[in-house]
C-alpha cells in the first residue's frame, strides 16, 4: 500500500490508537481533576467469580474512594456469585439504600463457549438500564479479557487497576449530578 495514501494514513493512526488503548494505565489520572468525595456515599457490588481479580478491583476502588475523602462508613460492599448477577446487585442498592453511586466490579474471561458474550452483553445492558432507570451513576467496572494474565495486568498489575478507574469515574459522576441538582434548585 502506498504509505502516502489516505487509507494507509487512516490505518496507521487507527492501529496507534488501539495500541495506546491497550497500554493505558487504568490507575493514571490527574489527582486534581477529582472532586472531594467527603459527602458522598457509594455502593460496590463485587462478583465472586474470578475473585483473585475482583477482590483486587474492590481493594483498588475502596482505596481510591478513601484517597479522595470518602468516609469508611460511606462505602458499602456487597458480593454476588458471578458477573451476570451484578445488575441485580446494583438494583438492590438503588432500591433499598441511599447511595449516590453504584460501582459494579467483575471479571469475565473468554472461554471456549459463547457464555462470555452473553455475560458481557448482559451486564453492559443491565448497567446502562440501571443508570437510566434510577437517574443514578452506575459504573461499569467489568474486566472482559482473553485470558487470566490480561485480567491480572488490569487488577493492580502492570496496567494499573480498573477498580481505581471505576472509583474516580463514580466520584466525578456524583459531583456532576450534585452540580446539576444545585443549579436546578437556585433557578
Ligand atoms: C458461568 C460463568 C462463566 C462460565 N464464566 C464467568 C466468568 O468468567 N466471570 C464471571 O463473573 N462469571 C462467570 N460465570 C458465572 C455467571 O456470571 C453467573 O453467575 C451464572 O451464569 C449464574 O447466573
Q: Where are the domains of the chain?
A: 40-186
| Residue entry with cell 487497576 | 161
Does ligand 1 come within 6 angstroms of the Cβ of 164? no
The three three-digit cell numbers of residue 142, written as one number: 467489568
85 lines ligand 1 (CB under 6 A): yes
The residue whose CB lies within 8 Å of the most ligand 1 atoms, and thus the one to mutate among 48, 51, 83, is: 83
Q: Distance of alpha carbon 169 from its chain centroid, rounded?
A: 7
Give the CA angle between residues 141, 145, 150 to the nearest 5°. 100
Residue 141 Cβ inside 6 Å of ligand 1? The answer reads no
C-alpha of residue 82 to centroid of ligand 1, in Å: 5
User: Which residue, 79, 143, 81, 85, is CA-closest to 109?
Assistant: 143
- For residue range 137-152, what is the model confidence (pLDDT) as tens digits? 999 999 999 999 999 9
Query: From first to last of its 187 residues, what are the pLDDT tens digits of the chain?
Result: 666 677 667 666 755 665 555 568 988 888 889 999 999 999 999 999 999 999 999 999 999 999 999 999 999 999 999 999 999 999 999 999 999 999 999 999 998 788 999 999 999 999 999 999 999 999 999 999 999 999 999 999 999 999 999 999 999 999 999 999 999 988 6
- CA-closest residue to ligand 1 atom 9: 108
One DSSP character per residue, 38-76 reads TT--EEEEEE-TTHHHHHHHHHHHHHHHHHTT--GGGEE
Cell triple for 76:
458499602
Question: What is the rounded distance in angstroms from the CA atom of residue 39 to the CA atom of residue 69?
Answer: 8
Query: For the chain, how many helices (H) and strands (E)?
Result: 6, 6
Quote the CATH superfamily of domain 40-186.
Lumazine/riboflavin synthase (3.40.50.960)
Sole residue written with cell 478491583: 57
Distance (Å) from CA 161 to ligand 1 centroid: 21
Q: Which pTM value belongs to this model? A: 0.88
Q: Which atom of ligand 1 lies nearest, measured to the CA of 84?
A: 17
Tell me the β-bridge partners of 104.
45, 140
Closest CA to 152 of 104, 109, 93: 109
Residue 8 annotated among the catalytic residues of the structure: no
Amino acid at each position: 500500500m502506498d504509505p502516502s495514501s489516505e487509507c494507509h494514513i487512516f490505518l496507521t493512526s487507527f492501529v496507534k490508537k488501539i495500541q495506546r488503548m491497550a497500554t493505558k494505565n487504568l490507575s493514571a489520572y490527574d489527582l486534581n481533576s477529582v472532586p472531594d468525595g467527603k459527602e458522598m456515599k457509594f455502593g460496590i457490588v463485587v462478583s465472586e467469580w474470578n475473585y483473585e481479580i475482583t477482590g483486587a478491583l474492590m481493594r483498588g476502588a475502596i482505596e481510591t474512594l478513601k484517597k479522595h475523602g470518602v468516609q469508611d462508613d460511606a462505602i458499602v460492599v456487597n458480593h454476588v456469585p458471578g458477573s451476570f448477577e451484578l445488575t441485580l446487585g446494583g438494583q438492590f442498592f438503588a432500591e433499598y439504600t441511599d447511595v449516590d453511586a453504584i460501582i459494579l466490579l467483575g471479571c469475565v474471561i473468554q472461554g471456549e463457549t459463547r457464555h462470555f458474550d452473553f455475560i458481557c452483553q448482559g451486564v453492559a445492558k443491565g448497567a446502562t438500564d440501571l443508570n437510566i432507570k434510577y437517574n443514578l451513576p452506575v459504573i461499569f467496572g467489568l474486566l472482559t479479557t482473553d485470558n487470566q494474565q490480561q485480567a491480572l495486568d488490569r487488577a493492580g498489575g502492570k496496567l494499573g487497576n480498573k477498580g481505581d478507574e471505576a472509583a474516580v469515574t463514580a466520584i466525578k459522576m456524583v459531583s456532576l449530578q450534585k452540580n446539576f441538582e444545585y443549579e436546578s434548585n437556585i433557578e
